[in-house]
Structure 1
Amino acid sequence: MNKNLLNLNKTSKKYQYYAVFGLLFSLLLSSCSAKEVKDVSYKSISISAENTELLRNESLKINLLLDNKATSNTKDITCISSDPTIASIINYKIYGLNTGTVKIACTTSDLVSNVLDIKIIDKTVTIDDPTTETPTEPTDPTNPTDPVTPTDPTDPVIPTEPTTPGNLLVVSYIDVGQGDSILIQTPNGKTILLDAGPSTYQGRVSDYLDQEGISKIDVLIASHPHADHIGGMSYIINNYEIGSIYMPKAVSTTKTYETLLETIKSNGLTINTAKAGITINIDKSIEIKIIAPTSSSYSDLNQYSAVIKITYNKVSYLFMGDAGWTSEDEILSSGVNIKADVLKVGHHGSATSSTQEFLDEVLPTYAVICVGEDNTYGHPTEQTLDRLDFTGADVYRTDQDGTVVISTNGQTITIE
């Protein structure tokens, strides 16, 4: 992932300039007790999901060596200088999946702010001993007793159990143009369909379900009553077996919404209210929580959106529907944990969704925007894309990437 690599090219003058600051702060930090992690200066930092947990937003001042590039893998993040006599403290913001994947983003331009902090966000770490170095022997690829570790910096940690189709959580963000339709297949084989796109794309949704061999939707969820989310839902109800259906208590006077209500009734289904605090129990291996809407009345139908968080072991997904700033503020005020590895961006990337404050709490590694090509709304907006970029998320768009499939075994994430 090239955008996560740091460009540390510097002139010799800048090296000398930062070397002075590095030396001063190294002396300052070295006077602190080694037991106070946040005050100790080290040359490298190791990140692992199994190690001692740091408090959220713990700041660490780390003395790193500069180089023309920064290298990282799932275990180590180190900057090595071509001139080992040059040292400086540089500013990183480190983002990591709780599965072990690490992303690095420099938060200043040309490192102009002299001395800054390394911030570990919601991550567990161990610190290398600065006084001793233990040599490591190279792994013998011919020796079956030697473990094989990933070398790709984007690889998550190796799962403790083998991955099989039966224990995967598979989330398909179906390309339905300017709309949402997301198929979720749980590890035990249950199915959830979150929205069904506009009516003009109902054939694409049904084709995808047929392709996956699905004849029953165990849980059908309408995030909110806008046509680009529920337009194809009546067709789904009439052509597939439906276990249960969830909808927020939002009222619309559109023909699309009225038709959906009639279809639900004629098929003998009862609507379950989608609201904060509801848990959907269809698979014991995963947790499905509805965390919004938190209120019962809004002037904007988008704020009624059912916001859903699904957690499978160490990996979490957050689905925002068309929720905007109002809903995001209420979610933040509720204190619910919204940290998620994968974010379905709210309202197709509209400028009125995905505030920086909200994204800083979610800290997604991947973000998916369901959006139509050349749409007349200007989605996704540059403001939203900039905020996602600042957060450090890799962005996938259905208008550019088509249907996006993100699966996990609870430890690692795979994107198709």
Structure 2
Amino acid sequence: EDGFSGVGFPGGGAAAFSAAPAAESNGRVEGRTILLERYTLPTKEFPNGRLEIAAGGKLLYEGDLPYKNGVRGERTFPFVKQDCMKQPSKFFGTSVVDRLIPVQRAYNAVRNRKHEFLNRISAGVLAVEDGSVDTDALAEEGLAPGKILVYRQGSKAPEMLNLGNLPSDFAEEEEWLEKEFSVVSGVSDLSQSSTPTRVTSATGLQLLLSQDDSRLAATKENMFSAMKEIARQTVRLYKQFAGNARLLCVAGEGGKTQAYYFSAEELSCDDVVFETEENLGANERKETILSLLSAGILTDDGGKISQQNKNRILDAFGLGSYENCRDISALHADCAREENLKIRAGEKAKTDDLDDHDVHIAEHSRFYISQEGRSSMSENARKALAAHIREHMEKKAARDTEKTPV
């Protein structure tokens, strides 16, 4: 039996079936077998759901659903369904391909009729007078190149019928169906690396790009929803199985890897949001930054660009990783972020006389008032960070006093 996958509702409860695909359809293959899994949602008979696993004709597991991956600790399917386009009151969604099938069939029919007509024209139809030629021999042998055709004396010579030219309706219908493909699928001329002949302005091209994005908006939203649900279930599984201490490595600001220790008790929320949903490409982002620079939005009142903005612009242009392009203030900012993590973990962070106190005060204050800082730091850690900021302010005031001439 081949592998199968589906969803059914036996006995009033929902169940999911899944199986690995068979290696071959005919015969058994040594070293391979079909794994069958059946998931049943919680019912009155089985409050924790049911999971049965079978392979090789043997029942390997039968018991409750092992994962508390639902809302409020409920047990549910460990799967996430992603639809291209959802259908109201239906479990399975639809896709653009389903909408293109009727157009494809009509297009194939037009192409077939077109080729039949061309074949008829190229093969030709020979008209002969009754009894003038041997029609049986002519039908069997055909009109080979250089063949001598003998017909009865006094009769009309055989001639090819004029079938006319290919009607223009075929070309018009074919062109209309090709345009219908573009409209239904949401693939414009710009997506096919071609520019419409009547659109030459940048505004018009941007409007066409916006139309392409709007056609994909529903599919994009469904894809993001599925990704969020996968992340929520992952967080719930960590909350169930993480235990007392787990090590998590994440990419922090500037592409620097940071390690965090956490326990299952700290995962008190499973809300997932996307930090950025940027639709701009690399070149568009660079053009946007250059436009902001030209408008003076990234400069201060004196018309100068701060060092932090310079570093961010270099990062956006892909030059932030070069040591010669990064100012020393970026290193001070990285050091301040590491101190934030130490203070949050309950460790002691000392100030240094060579610290850029302005940068440290800005980074510590940003973390102190941010949502991440308020939710992740304890009350003692917040007091320690506030004391650390005051220490930087005192050293900064002392340094400014030394520089002030008497």
Larger radius of gyration: 2
* Larger strand share, 1 or 2: 1
Q: Normalising by structure 2, what TM-score?
A: 0.20
More helix by share: 2
Of structures 1 and 2, the one scoring higher in RCO (CA 8 A, sep 6+) is 1
Report the TM-score, using the length of structure 1 for normalisation. Answer: 0.20
